[in-house]
C-alpha cells in the first residue's frame, strides 16, 4: 500500500484554525492568514508553488472530519454539499467522519463523499480499501488529523508554518504523545516555512 499523507497549514503557536469557526469564517477568526501562501498573495514565491504542488498531488482516497466538510452541526439539515462547489478538488472518494448517517454524495470530477459513523478507524480502513497505490490523505480538520497521528498511520506530514499567532483555536498535536518523524525537506518564503516530515520507525 502507498503512503498515508497529511498536509496542514499551522500558526507559530500551533493552531490550524482560529476561534469561532462558522459558515462565514470556516477557518475561524484569523485562520485565513495561515493559507496566504497558496491563495494568490503577491508575496508568494517559487517555494510556495512547490509546496502547493505537494498539497494538490492526486491521492487515491481521502479522510476528513465533518467540520471540514461543512458548518452543519447535529442532524443533517438542508442540501449542503461541501465548501468547494460542484467540482471539489479531490477527484477521488472522500470518507467523512460523522455521528449522523447520510447518503453518499456524488460530485463532478470523480469526487464522492461517503459518510462514516463508525469512527476514524472505520473511515481509514474504507479509504485504504479503495485507494490502492494512490495512497490515502488525511485532509483535516484538526480532530481528524489528531486521531490519525495518535493512531500512528501518517507516513508523511507536511506543515506550512505561517508567521502568525492566533492565540486560540484548533490544535492538531494535543494528546499526541510521540512524533516519530524527521524533516526531509524544508522550503521557505515570507508567507510560510514548509517542512515535509517522514516517519522514522
Domain assignment of residue 94, yes or no? yes
pLDDT at 49: 97
On whether residue 77 sits in a domain, the answer given is no
What pLDDT does 122 receive? 98
| Tally of structural domains, the chain | 1
Residues 6+ apart with CB under 8 A from 37: 9, 44, 48, 51, 52, 160, 162, 189, 191, 192, 194
CATH number at residue 42: 3.40.430.10
pLDDT tens digits for 103-124?
999 999 999 999 999 999 999 9
Give residue 94's domain range.
20-70+88-192
Domain-located, residue 37: yes
Does some domain include residue 135?
Answer: yes
**pLDDT score, position 115:** 97
Regions of the chain with pLDDT less than 50 = 1
pTM of the model: 0.94
Name the percent of the chain lying above pLDDT 90.
Answer: 85
* Three-state helix/strand/coil letters over 107-171: CHHHCEEEEECCCHHHHHHHHHHHHHHHCEEEEECHHHHHHHHHHCCCCEEEEEEECCCCCCCEE
Residue 74 is predicted with a pLDDT of 85
Residue 81: strand, helix, or coil: coil
State the pLDDT at residue 25.
81
Q: Flag whether 185 is in a domain.
A: yes
Amino acid at each position: 500500500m502507498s503512503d498515508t499523507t497529511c498536509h496542514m497549514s499551522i500558526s507559530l503557536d500551533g493552531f490550524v484554525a482560529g476561534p469561532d469557526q462558522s459558515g462565514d469564517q470556516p477557518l475561524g477568526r484569523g485562520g485565513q492568514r495561515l493559507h496566504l501562501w497558496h491563495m494568490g498573495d503577491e508575496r508568494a514565491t517559487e517555494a510556495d508553488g512547490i509546496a502547493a504542488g505537494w498539497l494538490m498531488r492526486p491521492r487515491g482516497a481521502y479522510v476528513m472530519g465533518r467540520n471540514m466538510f461543512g458548518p452543519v452541526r447535529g442532524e443533517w439539515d438542508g442540501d449542503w454539499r461541501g465548501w468547494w462547489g460542484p467540482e471539489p478538488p479531490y477527484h477521488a472518494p472522500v470518507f467523512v467522519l460523522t455521528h449522523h448517517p447520510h447518503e453518499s454524495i456524488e460530485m463532478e470530477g470523480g469526487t464522492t463523499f461517503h459518510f462514516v459513523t463508525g469512527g476514524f478507524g472505520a473511515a481509514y480502513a474504507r479509504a485504504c480499501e479503495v485507494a490502492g497505490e494512490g495512497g490515502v490523505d488525511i485532509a483535516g480538520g484538526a480532530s481528524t488529523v489528531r486521531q490519525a497521528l495518535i493512531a500512528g498511520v501518517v507516513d508523511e506530514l507536511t506543515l506550512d508554518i505561517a508567521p502568525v499567532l492566533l492565540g486560540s483555536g484548533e490544535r492538531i498535536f494535543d494528546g499526541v504523545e510521540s512524533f516519530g518523524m524527521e524533516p526531509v525537506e524544508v522550503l521557505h518564503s515570507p508567507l510560510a516555512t514548509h517542512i515535509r516530515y517522514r516517519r522514522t520507525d
